[in-house]
Amino acid sequence: MREFGTILDLVKRHRVAFLIGPIFVLLTNGLRIVAPELVQFAIDFIGAEGEEPSLAGRAVLGMADTFGITHESATIITLTAATILVAALCQGVFQFFMRYVMIGASRRVEFDLRQRVFDHLQTLPPSAFESMRIGDVMTRSTSDIESIRMCVGPAIMYLTNTLTILPLCLVMMFLKNPTLALFAMIPLALLTLAIRLIMPRMYKHSREVQEQMSAISTHAQENFSGVRVVKAFHREQYEIDGFRKLNGEYVRANLRLAWSRGLVNGVINVCAGAGVALVLWLGGRDIVRGDFTLGKFIAFNQYQLMLLWPMIAMGWVLSLLQRGVASMERINEILAIEPAIRNESSASSEPIRGAIEFRGFSFSYGETPLLQNIDLSIPAGHTVAIVGRTGSGKSTLVSVLPRLLEVPRHRVFIDGREIHDIPLEQLRSSIGMVPQDTFLFSDTVRNNIAFGRPDATDDEVREAARIAGIDDAIDELPNGYEQMIGERGVNLSGGQKQRLAIARAIVKDPAILILDDCLSAVDTETEERILAGLRPKMRGRTCVVVAHRVSTIKDADRIVVIDEGTIVEEGSHDELVAANGIYAEIERRQKLEDELERFG
């Protein structure tokens, strides 16, 4: 249970509910024993006049006195029936509050916990989501949080319930007939024992059923995805046979589960029945002897039925707790990940102008070095293009600037200041970055463009769209800027998405603009337009462009060629073409591609 330490404060936040809830459980169960007592009284009252009335019976008789009702049998019966009903009504009210308070509290804890996990996730660097699959995080934040909630809510409720109703019923039964109470408890104790014994079996079988189901699902999934291979090798029948086999195993697993289920059902019914039979036999014998009454016998019967479910629930609660602990461990794993990149400076400083400097910067992913000893200085206001093969480390180099990656110290400087000395928020809001893989939210076009500045005016949004060369395309959408895009809206082409991402960066009005190979999906003509639009906007701002296409970069102040982790060429377009190195090769390829494009 130590695992739950992390959510102790969340539980404490709702402590009133966790304290009041059990009180309602007690009140509910306290009233629950009224009915059997009154039934006993009623039956014995009708039958044997001489019998000493029970506590509940005396209460009814007392009530009759208060209301001035005679002790005539018929009226007393009516009064008893009415009391049963009133007690049930009160019990119902308490029961309502019990459930609403206790389960409701668990929903509140769930809310807080989920929010905490979410907020924690947002502090983790993007790289954390590469090692931790998103699907896995999703599972943890849904089903694991749910099973924690089951512990905090239903498990506690059912546990308190069993722990209160059991002693209450036991006491009432012992008061009536200790021997019989002892015997009556035998089948119930056996029931708990049997459930404890069968439950693990049932879980095992139900896990097997789930596993077989997922085997079927995997088979179907694999078969449907590999349908070309299946068809090309005309393996349809073989696949069908394989499916049939899995299906057969699934059926068998299900039948095994059915056996244990049937056993549970049977055991429950038989234990319940055995209790009745035992009381019938021993109680009946005592009645015949005159030691016991019919009313007590029926009350006994009712107590036994009342205990049935709480006794079964105990086994269930135990497994809920078990699962909850495992889930809590998985959630703790997430919460224990330290955010690697954090703000380390609170000094609010003068605005960033945009001078960038790498001094002997090296970077490696794990053991593999990616960038080695990069020296690069970009004066504020300059445009620098970075080219190189895929995997040469270009994207890594630019991802360092907004500190999306953890940066070694004293290697990267902005405006001459060590990058860690700049408040993270200030750093990031001064950089407009268009990442390589365009990510847009399923939201309106406007909200996507204004993502970094929700307060941007319509004019600013339009202006950014115009510069990014997407304004015409937006106007053509059914709802213009209010058009939903993504999953629940229209699908945009790759080029349109890239341009929206550019507009999104422009709205930020950043001191440093980074375009990380973000024009790959637009044609040369559009690219030309975008670059032309950007030029006046970027005047006086620093611009780092990662690109493949020569046309994108030829006008840059400087071009840097990276190969195998180091800078191999540096200079203007003309200089590099003249140098006849890697850049010149890229330029030649580009020309060929353009020519091929022109073939009809």
Enumerate residues 72-91 that contact other proteins by CB under 8 A.
73-74, 77-78, 80-82, 84-85, 87-89, 91
144-183: contacts with other proteins (CB under 8 A): 150, 154, 158, 161, 165
Q: Give yes or no for a contact between 119 and 334, defined as CB atoms under 8 angstroms apart.
A: no
Min CB(2)–other proteins separation in Å: 25
- Distance of alpha carbon 432 from the chain centroid: 31
Residue 229 bridge partners (DSSP): none
Q: What mask, x for binding other proteins by CB under 8 A, covers residues 514 to 553?
A: ----------------------------------------
> Where does this chain touch other proteins (CB under 8 A) — which range of 284-292, 489-497, 537-545, 568-576?
284-292
Min CB(497)–other proteins separation in Å: 12
Q: Which 8-state DSSP code applies to residue 484?
A: B
Kindly tell me which residue out of 441, 535, 575, 578 binds other proteins, with binding defined by CB under 8 A: 441
Q: Which is nearer to other proteins, 9 or 557 (CB)?
A: 9
Min CB(18)–other proteins separation in Å: 15
Kindly tell me which residue out of 238, 344, 360, 575 binds other proteins, with binding defined by CB under 8 A: 238
Cα-only R_g, the chain: 38
Residue 493 interacts with other proteins (CB under 8 A): yes or no: no
Kindly tell me which residue out of 351, 366, 454, 536 binds other proteins, with binding defined by CB under 8 A: 454
Q: Which is nearer to other proteins, 225 or 377 (CB)?
A: 225
Min CB(375)–other proteins separation in Å: 26
- Distance of alpha carbon 369 from the chain centroid: 35
Kindly tell me which residue out of 69, 270, 318, 568 binds other proteins, with binding defined by CB under 8 A: 270
- Distance of alpha carbon 560 from the chain centroid: 44
Q: Give yes or no for a contact between 105 and 152, defined as CB atoms under 8 angstroms apart.
A: yes
Q: Tell me the number of residues near other proteins by CB under 8 A.
A: 147
> For residue 8, is it left (φ>0), alpha (ψ between -120 and 50) or beta?
alpha
Give the CA-trace dihedral at 518, 523, 527, 528, to 10 degrees.
Answer: 160
> Where does this chain touch other proteins (CB under 8 A) — which range of 5-13, 100-108, 188-196, 464-472?
100-108
Please give the Cα distance from 237 to 240 (Å, whole number): 5
Residue 223 interacts with other proteins (CB under 8 A): yes or no: yes
Residues 6+ apart with CB under 8 A from 194: 267, 271
Kindly tell me which residue out of 226, 360, 408, 480 binds other proteins, with binding defined by CB under 8 A: 226
Kindly tell me which residue out of 115, 210, 457, 479 binds other proteins, with binding defined by CB under 8 A: 115
Kindly tell me which residue out of 96, 186, 326, 342 binds other proteins, with binding defined by CB under 8 A: 96
Q: Give the chain's count of helices (H) and strands (E).
A: 24, 10
Kindly tell me which residue out of 229, 326, 335, 340 binds other proteins, with binding defined by CB under 8 A: 229
Residue 222 interacts with other proteins (CB under 8 A): yes or no: yes
Residue 233 interacts with other proteins (CB under 8 A): yes or no: yes
Q: Give yes or no for a contact between 284 and 297, defined as CB atoms under 8 angstroms apart.
A: yes
Kindly tell me which residue out of 168, 216, 521, 584 binds other proteins, with binding defined by CB under 8 A: 216
Please give the Cα distance from 155 to 262 (Å, whole number): 25
Residue 411 interacts with other proteins (CB under 8 A): yes or no: no
Determine how β-strand 383-387 pairs with β-strand 542-546: parallel
Please give the Cα distance from 80 to 37 (Å, whole number): 10
Residue 166: how many other CB atoms lie within 10 Å = 18
Kindly tell me which residue out of 9, 65, 211, 236 binds other proteins, with binding defined by CB under 8 A: 236
Q: 256, exposed or middle or buried, with CB in 10 Å at 0-12, 13-18, 19+? A: middle
Q: Which is nearer to other proteins, 211 or 375 (CB)?
A: 211
573-592: contacts with other proteins (CB under 8 A): 585, 589, 592
- Smallest CA-to-CA distance from 244 within 208, 220, 228 is with 220
Tokens encoding 447: 């909200």
Residues in the chain: 600
Min CB(341)–other proteins separation in Å: 9
Residue 571 interacts with other proteins (CB under 8 A): yes or no: no
Kindly tell me which residue out of 26, 27, 317, 433 binds other proteins, with binding defined by CB under 8 A: 433
* Percent composition of the chain: helix, strand, coil (DSSP 3-state, to 5): 65, 10, 25
Min CB(236)–other proteins separation in Å: 5
344-403: contacts with other proteins (CB under 8 A): 389, 402
> Which amino acid appears at position 127 of this protein?
S
Please give the Cα distance from 213 to 225 (Å, whole number): 18
Kindly tell me which residue out of 59, 63, 199, 263 binds other proteins, with binding defined by CB under 8 A: 263
Q: Which is nearer to other proteins, 446 or 508 (CB)?
A: 508
- Smallest CA-to-CA distance from 530 within 464, 463, 465, 467 is with 467
Q: Which position has the token pair 């090769």?
A: 585
Min CB(475)–other proteins separation in Å: 25
- Smallest CA-to-CA distance from 180 within 297, 311, 270, 267 is with 297
Q: Which position has the token pair 């004293």?
A: 410
Residue 345 bridge partners (DSSP): none
**Strand arrangement, sheet containing 431-434:** 431-434, 512-516, 542-546, 383-387, 558-563, 566-571
Kindly tell me which residue out of 16, 189, 277, 532 binds other proteins, with binding defined by CB under 8 A: 277
Min CB(517)–other proteins separation in Å: 14
Q: Which is nearer to other proteins, 269 or 457 (CB)?
A: 269
The DSSP string of 334-391 is HHHSPPSS--------PPP---EEEEEEEEEETTEEEEEEEEEEE-TT-EEEEE--TT
Q: What mask, x for binding other proteins by CB under 8 A, covers residues 295 to 324?
A: ---x--x---xx-xxx-xx-----------
Q: Which is nearer to other proteins, 516 or 527 (CB)?
A: 516
Residue 274 interacts with other proteins (CB under 8 A): yes or no: yes
Min CB(363)–other proteins separation in Å: 17
> Where does this chain touch other proteins (CB under 8 A) — which range of 4-12, 329-337, 429-437, 463-471?
429-437
Min CB(522)–other proteins separation in Å: 17
Kindly tell me which residue out of 118, 200, 344, 490 binds other proteins, with binding defined by CB under 8 A: 118
33-72: contacts with other proteins (CB under 8 A): 35, 38-39, 42-43, 46-48
Min CB(206)–other proteins separation in Å: 13
